[in-house]
Structure 1
Amino acid sequence: MPVTLADQLVVAISSRALFDFEEENTVFEANDDRAYMQLQLQRLEKPARPGVAFSLVRKLLSFNSGDAARVEVVIVSRNDPVSGLRVFRSCQHYGLPIQRGVFTRGASPWRYLKPLSANLFLSANEADVRAALERGFPAARVLPHSARATDAHPNEVRIAFDGDAVLFSDEAERVFQADGLDEFQRHEAARAASPLPAGPFKPLLTALQRLQREGTAAMRLRTALVTARSAPAHERAVRTLMDWQIEIDEAMFLGGLAKGEFLREFEPDFFFDDQTRHVESAAGHVPAGHVAAGVAGG
């Protein structure tokens, strides 16, 4: 039988999102890839420090047990193959069972997401993330300066999502941007029973729902919706999730309050939002990523 990743949650992640390569990246961005390659080889025996998405990846991989392969993580990186040696060596150091990688030496790696059937792409490269989103893959640009996840929930993956333009389409956000808050509230109240169209991260949420239902003795999943919506616009969001038959554990309808301190209390392993101001607010407290989608997220 051919090897397949079917029925698994597939996370494609860049080396910079998984590990802290910010110091090395200054050499890479100077367009001196040979110097970068040499630097990584010099540090081959020095494990890289955990990066922004490290906690998320480590916990998701804990859903695999025995013969049950539920999650696959693949390194998809602009690094060269030689520098990839240190990436895999660092994975081994931390006990991350990551076996697959694609290294493109500066070329955009988004085109390999399709054969991987990726459910999520995480990268620090904005152009790569935008290309992935345009082609229908849930993708986010990690903020390397984000706070790291806490160790408070070792047996629980915690993921938080914004609503409009992330889980849902930007239909309602367009009304808000064009006509203001009052019209937005009227628009959403009048359509409370009409589900919102899906946003770019709905496929990921669906895949996570399967993990949540399966669970393992080692790891559980907890999700949160963290949105600027408030009553009465909250009802359409809740009813949309009900229509999708997707359960969210926590929902925060903040009515424009800064999200960072609320996320600090939820303590997610990762937070996704389309608006840079919310991502920056979150990044001071938790690992965060920008979803460059929708009218407000471009």
Structure 2
Amino acid sequence: MAAMSLDDKLVVAISSRALFDFEEENRVFESGDADGYMRLQLQRLDVPAAPGIAFSLVKKLLAFNDASAQRVEVVVLSRNDPVSGMRVFRSAKANDIQLQRGVFTQGRSPFGYLRPLKATLFLSANEDDVRGALAAGFPAARVLTESVLAHDNYPNEVRIAFDGDAVLFSDEAEQVFQARGLEAFQEHELSKATQPLPGGPFKPLLAALHRLQNAGNARMRIRTALVTARSAPAHERAIRTLMDWKIDVDEAMFLGGLPKGEFLREFEPDFFFDDQTRHVAHAALHVPAGHVAAGIANVLN
């Protein structure tokens, strides 16, 4: 048998709590009763778990696979025990999620396995695992399990929204803002408007989505949005940076500090990524959201 490879695929590594609603079971685990948690999962082995916060994103991305090409791979990467892993696989089958691979570490941090998986994205409800993944150079976000679920108004469109600074872009400009305030930030960005920003932790994911879109699929498409607190004149550098990368976003919202949640509710993303906890918490009232613990804002917190 020829060796399998995940090369040239968009690989989503995801924890079981990000993919499915295991919050009731997790409360048993968090109480310190690991054996009780395993017993509960075993008792519910034939009860499919309900969709979790990142379920819609995963299911739609997998719809880019067809008979001609397998472009997306989803792998469960979980602190669960192998017994609980059986329920994850059964829940995936019951929910029509094509899931072939999983790594279950029974309490140990699993993010080290991202490298052999060549993961494009890591989604987990565990903040320590997400921080470790980001430090290792992988796009990663802590899924807010209290988020609302994605709507189903766009079944043939993967909708993903990104913050700019410290997510798609480096936090170079954010550092100026934190140190010297809004006026200095605006002046800094205006003076460097033609100089592209360095890439942030989620640039590789945006690039991978761009490749996936261009690979072609008659049934599915990707719609992306940049949703940022930037306003004019600092908008120009963001746009020019994307032009320099030769990556398009479908929508750009320069909100000048307005709350993002209501705008995101109109866009209806399958997932939204932001580095600032207050923005993510507000967004989670309206859409599935994840916290990217990167950049100066998370050093200060």
Q: Could you list the per-position Cα deviations for residues 8-65 of structure 1 after superposition, in whole angstroms to 9, with x for gaps in the alignment?
A: 0000000000000001001111232211110001011111110000000000000000
Could you tell me how far apart the structure 1 residues matched to 2:210 and 2:218 are? 17
Paired with 1:166 and 1:33, the residues of 2 have a C-alpha distance of 35
Q: Spell out, residue by residue over 1:241-292, the C-alpha distance to the aligned partner (whole angstroms, 9 max, x if none).
A: 0000000000000000000000000000000000000001100000000000
Q: What residue number does 1:172 align with? A: 173
| Residue 236, structure 1, aligned to residue 237, structure 2 | yes
> Map of 1:16-55 to 2, 5 A cutoff?
16-55=17-56
For these two proteins, the number of residue pairs brought into alignment is 298
1:60 alignment partner in structure 2: 61
1:181 maps to: 182
2:253 — aligned with what?
252
Residue of structure 1 in register with 2:267 after alignment: 266
Q: Give percent identity, aligned residues only.
A: 73
Post-superposition, which runs of at least 4 consecutive aligned residues in structure 1 deviate over 2 A?
Answer: none
The alignment partner of 1:163 has SS state of coil
The more displaced of 78-87 and 212-221 is: 212-221
Hey, what does 1:13 align to over in structure 2? 14
Over the aligned positions, Cα root-mean-square deviation in angstroms equals: 0.7
Matched, 1:118 2:110: no
Report the Cα offset of residue 2 of structure 1. Answer: 1.2
Distance 1:233 1:297 in 2: 22
Give the alignment of 1:77-226 within 5 angstroms: 77-226=78-227
**1:154 Cα deviation (Å)?**
0.3
CA distance in 2, matches of 1:118, 1:31: 31
Displacement of 1:173 after TM fit?
Answer: 0.2
**Alpha-carbon deviations, 1:83-114, whole Å to 9, x = none?**
00110000000111111000000000001000
Q: Which amino acid aligns with 1:273?
A: D
**One-letter code of the match for 1:125?**
N
SS in 1 for 2:298: coil
2:40, 2:100 → 1: CA distance? 23
Could you tell me which runs of 5 or more consecutive residues in structure 1 were left unpaired when the two chains were aligned: none
Amino acid at match of 1:126: E
Any idea what the Cα deviations from partners look like across 1:203-252, whole Å, max 9, x if unmatched?
A: 11110100111231221100000000000000000000000000000000
1:192, 1:266 → 2: CA distance?
27
Unpaired stretches in structure 2, ≥5 consecutive residues: none
Query: Normalization by structure 2: what TM-score?
Result: 0.98
AA aligned opposite 2:53? V
Q: How far 1:68 sits from its partner (Å)? A: 0.2
Q: What is the one-letter code of the residue matched to 1:224?
A: A
